Amino acid sequence: MKALHIAVAAAIILTGCTKADTDVTSPDGRIKVSFSLSANGEPRYSAQLDGQTVIGCSALGLDVEGCNLKDGFRLISTVSAGVEDKYSLKTGKQTDYHYCANEKIFNLLAQSGDTLGIAFRVSDDGFAFRYQINSLKSGQNIVNDEFSSFCFADSARAWLQIMAIAKTGWCGTNPSYEENYTQNVPVGTPCPWPSGWVYPALFQSNGAWVLVSETGLTTQYCGTRLTEIAGTPEYKVRFPMPQEVIDTATQDIRPRLTFPWQSPWRTVSVSSNLKGIVESTIGTDLAAPAVDGDYSWVKPGHASWSWAKLKDESVVYDVQKSFVDYAARMRWEYCLVDVNWDRTIGYDRIAELAQYAAARGVGLILWYNSSGAWNTTEYTPKSRLLTHEMREQEFSRLEQMGVKGIKVDFFAGDGQPVMQYYADIFADAAAHHLMVNCHGATLPRGWQRTYPNLVTMEAVKGFEYSTFTQEYQDMIPTQSCCWLFTRNVFDPMDFTPMSLAAIPGIERATTNAFELALPVLFLSGVQHFAETDDGMAAQPDYVVSLLQDFPTTWDQSLFIDGYPGQYFVAARRSGDKWYVAGINGEKAARRLTLDLSAIGSADKAEIFTDTDNKWQMAHSIAENVDLKAFEVTMQPNGGFVAVFE
C-alpha cells in the first residue's frame, strides 16, 4: 500500500481573486469545479463536464451552534495541490487502485473571526468536497445543520431511494436503507416521507450522468442523506431524524466536533456515459486508509446459509451441521449460523460445530442482535455488544472457539452515536480476528477500506424480503438493475443472492440464468448464498462445478452495457478468467450484440443462458468466439453468464 501523497503546487494569499484562482479541474481537463462567494459572502460552487454545466450554482456552509458559518465570509487564501494515492482492497470491483486528483482548499474568514476551509478534489471520474475547521473562537462544537446542496437542470431525471421513517416498521427497526428505488422521475419529485432520500442518488442532467454519495464518514459526524428543496431542481444535505440514536434520553444525532476537524467527503461521480459511473472508484479513493494492523487473516469467500429459505426453524445443530457439509462440498469457505443460535444450539455445541467445520475447511459466522433498548426485537444473542467490556468478553470467547466472523443486525440509524458504535464494533472485532457483516444497517461509505475486516453490509432490500411477499419478489428484476448503478457502485452489498430452486409460498419472478448472474454482478466480500443444500443438489453438474470454483475476489471490472432499471452487463476478471454476466429487468426478451474486445482474447467460453423454461439453463462450450460481436439473448427477467479463458 502506498501512503497518500499530496504535492503542494501553490499557496496564494488573496485580497481579491481571479476566476482561475477559484477553478479546480480534473487531470484530464474535462471536469471543472468553480468556487465563488455571493454578494452576501455565501460560499457557492458549480461543476461542468466538457464545458457543459452538470451542477449549477449550489450552496456550501455549516450551521454551527452559536457561530455563523453560512455567510459573511471573505476568501483569504487558497492552497493548491496534486493528490496521488495507490491502495489495495480485499473486496470490491478490483484489487488495486490508483487515484490522481487536483485539490484546492479555499480558506474563508467569518465575521466572527473563525475560519472555515472548504477542500475540493477533482479527479477524472468526478469531484468531492469537505469542510475543515482547526478551531472555533465563538460558538460551540455542535453542528446543527449542513447547507451543502446539488442543483441540477430543470429537465434532469432522478433515481432515488426513500429513507424509512425512524422507529417504524417491524419491531421499530427502521431505518436501514431497505426501501425500493424510485426510478427515472423528474428532478425535485417530492419525497413522500419526511425522512429524505438516501445515498447513492443517481441523476441524468444536461446529457451527463451524476452519482451523489458520501465517503470518509468518521465518528465525528452523523450519516447524512438528501432532501429536495421544494419547487426547485436542488437537493440539500440533511441530517438524520432525531430518533436515530442509541439512547434518546441522553443523545442526539448532531455531530460533536473535536479539533482539528474534517467532515466526510461529499462525492459526485460525473460522466458522459454510464460506464464512467459504474467504473468510478471515488467512493473508496477518498475513504480513510486502513487503520493500523495486520489484516492478513481477513479472507473473502462464500457462505452457505440456511435462514434465507428455511427461516428460524433451521437454526438447530443438525441442520447447521448439514449446511457445514454443504459448504464443504461446494468448496465454500464459510457457513452462516443465524438468529437464536445461543438458545437453540448453545455456546458449547457451537464450539463443537466450529471444530467440526474447521476439520472440513469451513469457518463459522455467527449472528448477533446489535440492539439494546432502541427497538423491540427479541432475537438473540441481544445486548451483548453494547460496551467495550461486553464485546471483549464475547469476542474473546468466539476467537477461542475458532469462529471466523459475526453478522450484526438491527442498528439504530445514522446519528453520530451510532457511527461511533459501528467503529467500536469493527475495531474490537479486528482485535480478535473476526470479520464483520452488518444487516439492518447504514450505507458503508467506504468503511471497507478503513476497516478491512468489514467484509460486507446489507443496506439493501435483500433477498429475504422476496420470500415474504409476492409483490416484492416481482420487483427484484428491475430493482437489481438499479442497484448496480447506485447502491453497489462503491460499497459491498450483502443482498444474499441466488435462488435456483423454488421459494416456499412464492412464485419466483426470475430465471435461473438471472439468478446465476447475480453472484458475478453483486459485489460482497463474503457472498452468502440463498440456495439450500437440497436446492443445489437438484442443479446440473455444470452449475455446481461453476459455483465450486467461483472466485472470491475480482482483479478488474468493466461495465459493458445497460440502463438503470432495465438491464445490466459487466465483465469481471479473476486471474486469467473473465466472467461476463448480464441480467434483464424487463418483461420482454432482450437480444444483445456486445463488444467484449476490452477483455483481450479468449480461446474458449463456457456459456450459461436462458431457455424457454425459467427453471432450466442452456449450457455450451464455444471456441473462436467473436469478442467484438458477442451475441446473447436474455429472456424476460432473465440473464446469462459466460466464462472466458
- pLDDT at 603 (0 to 100): 84
Reported as a single tens digit per residue, the pLDDT across 173-226 is: 999 999 999 999 999 999 999 999 999 999 999 999 999 999 999 999 999 999
Instruction: List the end-to-end C-alpha distance of the chain, in Å, as a whole number.
Output: 29
- pLDDT at 6 (0 to 100): 65
Query: Is the bond leading into 636 cis (omega within 30 degrees of zero)?
Result: no
Cell numbers for 556, please give them: 478488474
Q: Which CATH architecture has domain 2-285?
A: Distorted Sandwich (2.70)
Q: Which CATH architecture has domain 460-493+503-525+551-645?
A: Sandwich (2.60)
Q: Kind and range of the H or E element at 397?
A: helix 388-401
SS (H, E, C) 188-249: CCCCCCCCCECCCEEEEECCEEEEEEEECCCCCCCCCEEEECCCCCEEEEECCCCCCCCCCC
- pLDDT at 65 (0 to 100): 95
- 2-285 and 460-493+503-525+551-645: identical CATH topology: no
Reported as a single tens digit per residue, the pLDDT across 469-521 is: 999 999 999 999 999 999 999 999 999 999 999 999 999 999 999 999 999 99
Q: Is residue 235 a contact partner of residue 150, using CB atoms and an 8 Å limit? A: yes
* Overall average pLDDT of the 575-581 stretch: 97
* Overall average pLDDT of the 96-103 stretch: 98
3 or 33: which leads in pLDDT: 33
- Is residue 13 pLDDT above 90, yes or no? no
> Percentage of residues in the chain with pLDDT exceeding 70?
97
Reported as a single tens digit per residue, the pLDDT across 64-83 is: 999 999 999 999 999 999 99
- pLDDT at 139 (0 to 100): 81
Q: Which residues contact 86 (CB under 8 A, 6 or more apart)?
A: 1, 2, 96, 97, 98, 99
Reported as a single tens digit per residue, the pLDDT across 130-189 is: 999 999 988 889 999 999 999 999 999 999 999 999 999 999 999 999 999 999 999 999
Q: Is 392 helix (H, G, I), strand (E, B) or coil?
A: helix
- pLDDT at 138 (0 to 100): 84
Residue ranges per structural domain of the chain: 2-285, 460-493+503-525+551-645
User: If we measure between CA atoms, which residue out of 225, 369, 286, 373 comes closest to residue 100?
Assistant: 286
Distances (CA, A) of 561 to 216, 416, 632: 30, 39, 12
- Is residue 566 pLDDT above 70, yes or no? yes
Degrees to nearest 5, angle at CA 266 with 270 and 203 = 40
- Is residue 294 pLDDT above 50, yes or no? yes
Cα-Cα-Cα-Cα dihedral sign, residues 552, 553, 558, 561: positive
- pLDDT at 18 (0 to 100): 43
* Overall average pLDDT of the 431-448 stretch: 98
* Overall average pLDDT of the 427-439 stretch: 98
pLDDT band at 5 (very low <50, low <70, confident <90, very high): low
d(CA 232, CA 221): 28
